[in-house]
Amino acid sequence: MERAVPTVVLVRPHIPGNLGSVARAAMNFGVGDVRLVEPACSPDEEAHRLASGADELLGSMRRFPALLEAVSEFDAVVATSSLRGRAERRWLTLAELPEFLGSLGAAARVAYVFGPERSGLTEEERSRATATLTLPTESSFPTMNLSHALAVILAVHHAFAATTPPEPREDDLASSREVEAAIEHWDRALDAIGFYDTGHRDRSLRDWRSIVAGRPVTAREVAMLRGVANRILVSLRRNS
């Protein structure tokens, strides 16, 4: 069994040249799927120059209207961030990435998500990820060029895949789409029992999403979550 090749997702990229640099870095490590979410730019002459032989990948980058659609089929979504000291439920250092990948199993489909060059991913976007990864840069100058950050992460992923014998999991992981469906099911149940009556629904739902999505979740666990939520809704209807 071979390990699945990761996918790269760029959210709202603004600089055309970065598309070319990302295409080249992706090709360096065998990645053939780069997705764009709400891109604010398109490949131009500079992008093709920086792609330097990766023009086919540059031209095949698929566009998506929302992050959830771009990562819906993946078993693990790894967000990237240069922020420090935030209370993320699952924060990975680069040194911890191989162990995390090993916990997923060989067949796991992984997407690495990068935010806009100027601002990075929002808290809401990071809450939808299985883990948030930060690179060990100097605290006085933590932000990296997009393609450089991508190359560092893909180099670690590629080295792990090349040197670690793949081991299958006994249980199948749930895709991002299945996890989000379970969260939406629970959102309805929580709303029905008045959990949101005190306000702050968006923040509460974001925290709930981080609890559920902030770890690899199996298909069986998702089915159990949805089953409990459904029982709550059914019981409320019976008693109304």
Q: Which residues contact 198 (CB under 8 A, 6 or more apart)?
A: none
Task: Give the model's pLDDT for residue 29.
Answer: 96
List the chain pLDDT tens, one digit each, 240 residues: 567 899 999 999 999 999 999 999 999 999 999 999 999 999 999 999 999 999 999 999 999 999 999 999 999 999 998 765 455 557 889 999 999 998 888 788 999 999 998 888 988 888 889 999 998 888 888 888 999 999 999 999 999 998 887 676 667 787 888 888 888 888 888 888 888 877 778 887 777 777 776 667 788 888 888 888 888 888 888 877
- Rounded Cα gap, residues 156 and 25, in angstroms: 13
Task: Give the model's pLDDT for residue 88.
Answer: 53
Domain range annotation of the chain: 7-163, 176-239
- Rounded Cα gap, residues 31 and 160, in angstroms: 15
Q: What is the 3-state secondary structure (H, E, C) of 126-154?
A: HHCCCEEEECCCCCCCCCCCHHHHHHHHH
Give the DSSP per-residue string, 60-102: T-EEESSHHHHTTT-SEEEEE----S---SSEEEGGGHHHHHH
Task: Give the model's pLDDT for residue 89.
Answer: 56
Q: Which residues contact 142 (CB under 8 A, 6 or more apart)?
A: 82, 84
Task: Give the model's pLDDT for residue 214.
Answer: 66
If one counts every other C-beta atom within 10 angstroms of the C-beta of residue 167, the result is: 10
Task: Give the model's pLDDT for residue 57.
Answer: 97
Task: Give the model's pLDDT for residue 56.
Answer: 96
Task: Give the model's pLDDT for residue 18.
Answer: 96
Please tell me the CATH superfamily of domain 7-163, with its number.
SPOUT methyltransferase, trefoil knot domain (3.40.1280.10)
Task: Give the model's pLDDT for residue 107.
Answer: 81
